[in-house]
Chain A
Amino acid sequence: MKFPNINFDTLKNEGTSSVTPQERRKFLKLGLAVAGVYAGGKVLSLTSLVGTAHASGGANIVEKFPYNPHYSMVIRQSLCIDCEKCVEACNKTNHVPEYGYRTRILTKKYSGSLDKQVEFIPVLCNHCNDAPCVRACPTRATYKDPVTGIVRMDSKKCIGCKTCMLACPYDARYFSAERHAVDKCDFCWEERLSKGETQTGCSAACPTGARTFGNLTDPDNIVYKLVHQLEEQVWVLRPADDTKPNIFYMKGNMRSVDNILNEQKFKYYDPNKA
């Protein structure tokens, strides 16, 4: 096979003037897409279609999320001080019996680290896009809300086989004798969101802003901003189970995150000092 003999040294520079703006935009887009996949892809791909939506940018995102409003929570782990106000608020709002809980705060201890010895990790139902509990339920007593994506319970259909409790990789379910059904977090849909509130009981009660709740399809929303930044790592719990959870975790103590959010008013953010 013969190769055409091109001498690059003698080729004339065509200049940038011959590249159309369309072509240039396409090239830049490609670069962004590649960077997006490498930098943020690990987490963003966990939400259906968010990877492609992120790379193509703009208004497409809203249409490409599976739900709208797509409720989601970002937990900024470093801000959690284990005051348990969220657990109290949850128990009170949702009438959770003494023997059960819908959310709890786990403690992780470190030794040998210089900055801190302990870390608190709030956990709750992850409202997975591919929820194992929804597949496991024999009577469709638990289901993905087709509008909001919240994993909800239709208590009257629950036969109490407890398969969903074992299917859940986040231990988010318990059997409530009062309801005669399995009970779980519903992002306070029944007690708050359906009555016009915008925050869940736990996120409203959180004094530090560790729990931030919002709509993932709204580019102005705090959870959207926290998830769609590349500077600080965002992760989910038990990613290997591939359930596409909607509870995102991050340390949340970096300046860069504050900068992105400087329009947003936080409880811990004092605009006078900034």
Chain B
Amino acid sequence: MTGRMVNISKKWGFHGVEALKNASPLYKMTMAIFALLALAGAAVGLHGMITGYHHVYGVTREISWGLLISAYIFCVVTSTGLCIISSIGHVFGGEAYMPIAKRAVFMSIMFMFGGFCIIFFDIENPFRMAIWNVISPNFVSNMWWMGTLYGMYLVFMIIEYYFLLDQNHTLSRLMGFFGLVVGIAAHSNLGAVFGMLHGRPFWYGPYLPIYFIFSAAMSGGCAILFFTTLGWRINPEIMNQRMERAIKAITQVTIFLISVIIFFTIWKIITGMVSEGKHLVIMSFLTGDYAINFWVFEIFLGMVLPLYLLIRSRGNNFNLILWATGLMMIGIFFMRYDIVIPGQMESVYHSLGVEEAKDMLTYTPSFHEIMASLFGIGFIGLAYFAGEKMLNGHQLEKHEIVPDGGYICPGCGAIHFMEEGETEDDAMKRHHRIW
């Protein structure tokens, strides 16, 4: 570490709490709203925990996974997606995607924490989980693997983020690779949590694990576009030629991924219509209780509108991209909801033709469930706005403040530091070596 005694604020781009104090009143107010949302959510969630969830939650014996699981899935899907999209750049060396890495990995970690916040209020005995997951593991349970793999994923992402800040490209790349592998495993396994319940025909099969990965990549593209263009609105200085190129590249890949999801959705509907176990649920999407969720939110807001707007934006109209991806985030939330709830709508005894299971089961989220979900969402919002200021818009440092011993890398545009007696050339080779 000789010759690398550099001020952390310069090297990491860490501007500390000072940056928050200097923010505009409107910015502070936005942060306060998210902070209040998170606090209120946590308070209501704790109230539910003390009084007993079965008194305050809308979930029942038959529909036992409700809004909280949907919100949890929304968060972890976005987290995995951010990891997948950012890995194109800083793991696989796609030049154009490199500048978004820091923001993407930061938000990926925050979404993961947000997801954990939400599921904390869904699991009935979260404290037992820490003990019995370790001393009594069931290796054939998807649920066990989900907890384990997401835990590992979070650790890898945090280490990766540290090395990204520290500009150790070799190790950040290595950790990013492990994070990606574990993330893909964790996320497809989350699909399998649903896909391996063979008593639930709407979920059962290899479709969900595969769909979850592509859907995550789409969410990741959407999220990074949204958070980068929003960051641009907050601080226009973050946009430069390299960032513009990155936005353009990610817009293209997001358009492609939306098309993939449209393709997936079309075949889900068509194959479901001829399946006895899925027919009722599919019809409730097309014409029944879930028609608004499906047509307005999932199809229009989640796919068709962003597809149109992103194509119109040509990747350089940032305001249009901000609107398209903002609405798409709402659509994606409903996409997750439409996986979790409808899968439980048909009672297991429906096919028996008994009176008790004649009608589809219904579920309405309760106030407590909505607030507990907002705990996670509020936390993510707060973390985002705090991060934009404290980490100076996740920028690589600018030219005029290149610290001693550092130089602008002609390859990636970041600041690299030379070891003692090293030339710039050697330093660049060291920073950009794969292993």
Contacts and interface: CB of A to CB of B under 8 A. Distances in A.
Given A138-B141, A138-B143, A106 B356 contact: yes
B199 A132 contact: yes
Q: Which 10 A-B pairs have the closest CB atoms?
A: A160-B124, A169-B199, A138-B144, A139-B132, A138-B143, A106-B354, A159-B129, A162-B64, A138-B141, A107-B355
Contact of A140 (B136, B147, B198): B136
Contact of A121 (B64, B348, B354): B354
Contacts of A174: 61
Interface string A173-194: 1110100110000000000000
B139 to A, nearest CB: 10
A167 interface: yes
A169 B354 CA distance: 15
Name the interface size band of chain B: 35 or more
Given A132-B199, A138-B133, A171-B348, A107 B123 contact: no
B352 A106 contact: yes
Interface in B107-142: 123-126, 128-129, 132-133, 136-138, 140-142
A174 B129 CA distance: 19
Given A107-B354, A109-B355, A138-B144, A175 B64 contact: yes
Contact of A171 (B53, B54, B123, B347): B347
Interface residues of A, number: 43
A157 B197 contact: no
A189 B196 CA distance: 29
A195 B137 CA distance: 31
A82 to B, nearest CB: 11
A177 B54 CA distance: 8
A30 interface: no
A99 B54 contact: yes
A163 interface: yes
Most buried by B among A107, A169, A181: A169
A27 interface: no
17 contacts: A106-B355, A107-B356, A108-B354, A136-B143, A138-B133, A138-B141, A139-B144, A140-B137, A159-B128, A161-B123, A166-B200, A168-B199, A171-B347, A175-B54, A175-B61, A181-B125, A241-B199
Given A135-B140, A160-B124, A241-B199, A166 B64 contact: yes
Nearest to A120: B354
B236 interface: no
Contacts of B200: 166
